[in-house]
Amino acid sequence: MFDFNKVVEEEKSEDPGSSAVEQKKDYLARFDAHKAQLVEMQNRAVVLEVKDKASAELAVTWGVEAARLAKEIKGNEEDLIEEPNKFISGVRAAAKRYLEPLESVKDTLRSKIRDYQARVELERRKTEEIARHVAAELQRKLDAEAAEANRIALESARKIAEEKAAEEKKKAEEGARKAKANKAEMERIAREAEDRRLILLRQAEADAAKNAIKAPEVPLPLVTKKKTIIRGEDGGSSSLRKEWKWEAREGILNEIREKILSQARKEELIPIEFLKIEVDLNNSAVNDAIKMGVREIRNLRIWEDVNPIFRT
């Protein structure tokens, strides 16, 4: 048996004449020993013409010979790598005894960091909601103050228009009475005065609307999200990786399969015992839909997974 560990140790000691190193060279030399035989086999195979029973039997003989040589070389190959493979398996098994508990440690810490980040985000949203409520109340107050100021201004403009119309009507009626106007003339003056009053009111309302005060808009507050990167004392860090995930409702694929089989049975197609129906989801199509912004697909649960990633 080839001792791989011994070769490694003796090669490190730079002793080219050691038995293990020589053993390794011997194994490698076994491959080279077949080089001439391999070339001969290749040449024979190329020039051989199989045209009768004798040449066919010769082709079989040479083929079997090549198969035997391949088996011998494969055996040498497996023998040479047996010990390295055992060594690698042993190293991996030893490392696994430590790596698996470390994964558990990381999972525990990830869960606690995820919970902490969720609490931070919840607190941020609460603060933002309170700030939005305060801003909305302030906006309502400003709107009410502006509306009251505009109402007072409109009433004042209407009052002035009414007073002006009444003054003009009074002057017109006094002039008519001095001129000893008859009843029809006085009625005409009254109609014109009323028309003039309505014109003055419309003008006053238009001017008031034009000069109306508009309450300033209170900007919606945005509470800045805190950085998701948390740095440790040793320079390492943890950041949140967000990823959209999905899963099918339990049993939905079996339900679909049963419906297909039921339809096939109903229509008397191929007998059910000779059918094999596989039902699966088009994963790439679902992933593409989620990338395009789809968040609801019937019988699928879609959620955003937040996972802390440790960086050394």
The residue out of 160, 179, 210 marking a domain boundary is 210
pLDDT digits (tens, 9 = 90+) for 36-45: 888 999 999 9
Residue 171 and residue 200 in one domain? yes
The residue out of 55, 80, 109 marking a domain boundary is 109
Residue 200 and residue 136 in one domain? yes
Residue 102 and residue 157 in one domain? no
Q: What does the pLDDT read at residue 110?
A: 82
Q: What does the pLDDT read at residue 2?
A: 46
Distance CA 74, CA 83 (A): 15
- Please say whether the beta carbons of 223 and 128 come within 8 A: yes
- Please say whether the beta carbons of 215 and 265 come within 8 A: no
Number of other CB atoms surrounding residue 143 within 10 Å: 15
Residue 270 and residue 182 in one domain? no
Residue 34 lies in a domain: yes
Residue 134 and residue 206 in one domain? yes
Residue 10 and residue 85 in one domain? yes
Backbone angles phi, psi at 193, to 5 degrees: -65, -40
Confidence of residue 125 (pLDDT cuts 50, 70, 90): confident
* Total structural domains within the chain: 3
Q: What does the pLDDT read at residue 21?
A: 61
Residue 115 lies in a domain: no
Distance CA 277, CA 206 (A): 77
Residue 215 lies in a domain: no
Range of the domain at 9: 4-109
pLDDT digits (tens, 9 = 90+) for 246-277: 999 998 899 888 888 888 888 777 787 787 88
Selection from 308, 312, 311, 243 nearest residue 108 by Cα: 308
pLDDT digits (tens, 9 = 90+) for 180-212: 878 888 888 888 888 888 998 999 899 988 989
Distance CA 245, CA 286 (A): 10
Residue 163 and residue 193 in one domain? yes
What pTM was computed for the model? 0.49
Question: Lowest-pLDDT range, 8-17, 125-134, 150-159?
Answer: 8-17
